[in-house]
Structure 1
C-alpha cells in the first residue's frame, strides 16, 4: 500500500503531506545506558533513563512537475513546501510527524533542513532532521502528614541550590510554602539571603538563593526594624476618622 508521510502543527492545525513518500525512514528509539567503572570490580552497565528519539529523512523529493508516483493532492511547487518546513524550523514549531498505516505518530521539532537541486529538472531534494520533544512538568510530591498530593515548583531540587526572581505579590512565607511546603521556614530562607534585612520586605526583581531544605541555615535574630514592627500597635479612631499607630512601649509609658 502507498504510505503517506505528513507533518501537522497542532497549534494552527496546518498539515503538510510530503508530495513524494521517501524511499525509506528509520526512527531511532534510544535509552540512556551508562557504563560505570568500579575499582577492583570492573565495569557495570546501568540504565540511565529514557532518551529522546530522532530521525533523518534523506533525499525527500519536492517535485517541480507531477510524476505518476506523487501522492494524491501533491502540488508541483517545491519551494512552497520548502518555505513551510523552513518556517517551522525557524520558529521551533512543535509538530506531529505521522506515517500512514504504521504506529508512527511522534512529537518532533525540526532540527535542520538541507536543500538543493540536481539533474536540471528544477526538482528540489531536501534532507529533514527531526528530534523528539516532550513537555517538562513539575514533579508531584506527597504532602507531609497526609495522603493528598500537590504540585511543587521544580526549582526546589533535592540536591542543588537554585535561584528565584521575586514577582509582584510574593512574600517569603509564600515562597517557603512553594519551595519547601512549609511557610514557617521563611525566616531560615531569609537567613540564606544575607541581603534581606527584614523578612517582611522583599521586592519584585530581587534574586533569591533557594538552597535545598536540608541546607537552610538557622534563622537570624530579628533586626531592630522587625522588633519595632512587632511592638507596633494600631487602632482606629472613628471620631477622628483616622488610624493611630503607636509603639507598645510608648503606650505603656502613657498609662
Structure 2
C-alpha cells in the first residue's frame, strides 16, 4: 500500500498532504541512559527518562507540474506547500505528523525547512526537520492515606463496555492497543465513538470515549483524508514504458 505522509493542524482540522511520498523516512525514538559507578559492582546503566522523538524528511519533492507519481489532489505550485509549512514553523504551531497505515502519529514542531531548485524544472526539493512536542504537565502528587495511581489500566480484550477519558498525548491507536491488544482496531474504536470522533487521527484531552467489549466493536467507518486516499491508491509497474502508474479508485 502506498504511504501518504501528512500534517494535521488540530486547532483548525486543516490537513496538508505531501504531494509526493518521500522515498524514505526515519523516526528516532529513544530513552536516556544514565551511567553510575558503584564501588563494589562497577559501572551500572540505568534508565534516565524518555527522549523526545525527531525526524528529518529529506528530498521532499514539491512539484511545479503534475507528474504521474504525484499523489491525487496534488497542486502544481510548490509554494502552496512551502508557505503553509513556513507559517506553522514561524508561529511555533504544534501539528500532528501522520503516516498512513502505520502507528506513526505524533505531535511535532517544524524546526527547520531548507528548500531550493535543482534541475531547471521549477520543482522544489526540501528538507524538513521535525521535533516531537509534549505539553508540560504538573506532576501527580501522592494523596494522604495512599499513593496516587501512576499507570493506566493495561488489560486488553475488554470483556464488557467501559469508558475512558482522553489524556494529553493519547492516540486512538494507543488506546486500542491498551484495551484490545491491537492498535489496528483504532478505526473500529473511532466508529464506536462516531458521535464525537469525526477523524480517527484527531482526539482531544477531556473527551470521554466508549470502550466496547472486544466482540462488540463495530466495523470501521471512513478514516481521515490521507488514510482514505492511501487505501484507494494503487501503484503498478509498466515494463514497456519502464514507469510506475498510479490509479485511484473512485476518481
TM-score (structure 2 length as normaliser)? 0.56
- What is the number of residues matched between the two proteins? 149
The structural deviation recorded for 1:64 is: 0.3
| Alpha-carbon distance in 2 for matches of 1:38, 1:68 | 62
| Alpha-carbon distance in 2 for matches of 1:30, 1:63 | 34
The structural deviation recorded for 1:41 is: 4.4
Residue 88 (structure 2) pairs with residue 72 (structure 1): no
Residues 45 and 17 (structure 1), Cα distance of their counterparts in 2 relative to 1, 3 Å cut: same
The structural deviation recorded for 1:40 is: 6.1
Residue 33 (structure 2) pairs with residue 48 (structure 1): no
Residue 27 (structure 2) pairs with residue 30 (structure 1): no
Match of 1:165 in 2: none
| Alpha-carbon distance in 2 for matches of 1:146, 1:104 | 37
Residues 20 and 143 (structure 1), Cα distance of their counterparts in 2 relative to 1, 3 Å cut: same
The structural deviation recorded for 1:38 is: 3.8
Instruction: Write out per-residue CA displacement over residues 112-159 of structure 1, whole angstroms, 9 at most, x where no aligned residue.
Output: 11111101110000001001111111122234357899xxxxxxxxxx
| Alpha-carbon distance in 1 for matches of 2:43, 2:90 | 43
2:140–2:148 contact (8 Å) kept in structure 1: no
Instruction: Write out per-residue CA displacement over residues 137-191 of structure 1, whole angstroms, 9 at most, x where no aligned residue.
Output: 1122234357899xxxxxxxxxxxxxxxxxxxxxxxxxxxxxxxxxxxxxxxxxx
Instruction: Write out per-residue CA displacement over residues 185-240 of structure 1, whole angstroms, 9 at most, x where no aligned residue.
Output: xxxxxxxxxxxxxxxxxxxxxxxxxxxxxxxxxxxxxxxxxxxxxxxxxxxxxxxx
Which structure has the higher relative contact order (CA within 8 Å, separation 6+)? 2
| Alpha-carbon distance in 2 for matches of 1:112, 1:78 | 17
Match of 1:16 in 2: 16
The structural deviation recorded for 1:49 is: 1.2
The structural deviation recorded for 1:39 is: 4.8
Instruction: Write out per-residue CA displacement over residues 18-44 of structure 1, whole angstroms, 9 at most, x where no aligned residue.
Output: 000000001011111112234564321
Residues 147 and 101 (structure 1), Cα distance of their counterparts in 2 relative to 1, 3 Å cut: closer
Instruction: Write out per-residue CA displacement over residues 71-112 of structure 1, whole angstroms, 9 at most, x where no aligned residue.
Output: 000000101100000110111111110011111111111111
Residue 132 (structure 2) pairs with residue 132 (structure 1): yes
The structural deviation recorded for 1:12 is: 1.4
Residues 20 and 44 (structure 1), Cα distance of their counterparts in 2 relative to 1, 3 Å cut: same
Q: Once structures 1 and 2 are overlaid, which stretch shifts more, 134-143 or 38-47? A: 38-47
TM-score (structure 1 length as normaliser)? 0.55
Match of 2:209 in 1: none
| Alpha-carbon distance in 1 for matches of 2:39, 2:112 | 43
The structural deviation recorded for 1:48 is: 0.3
Match of 2:102 in 1: 102
| Alpha-carbon distance in 2 for matches of 1:74, 1:102 | 22
2:141–2:148 contact (8 Å) kept in structure 1: no
Residues 51 and 122 (structure 1), Cα distance of their counterparts in 2 relative to 1, 3 Å cut: same
The structural deviation recorded for 1:45 is: 0.7
Larger radius of gyration: 1
